[in-house]
Amino acid sequence: MGLQIEERKSGAVTILDLVGRIVIGVSNDALVAELRKFSDAGASEVVLNLAGVTQMDSSGISTLVRSFVTLDRQGGGVKLLNPSGHVKEVLELTRLIHAIPTFYEESRAVAAFRSNIARA
**Average pLDDT across the chain, whole number:** 93
| CATH hierarchy code of domain 3-115 | 3.30.750.24
* Confidence check: pLDDT of 118 > 60: no
> pLDDT tens, 9-64?
999 999 999 999 999 999 999 999 999 999 999 889 999 999 999 999 999 999 99
> Averaged over 95-111, what is the pLDDT?
96
Instruction: Give the side-chain half-sphere CA count within 13 A for 60.
Output: 22
- Compute the Cα dihedral for 59, 65, 67, 73 and give only its sign: negative
Tell me the pTM. Answer: 0.93
**% pLDDT > 70, the chain:** 95
Contact between 66 and 97 (Cβ < 8 Å): no
Which residues have CB under 8 Å from 70's CB, separation 6+? Answer: 39
Distance CA 103, CA 111 (A): 11
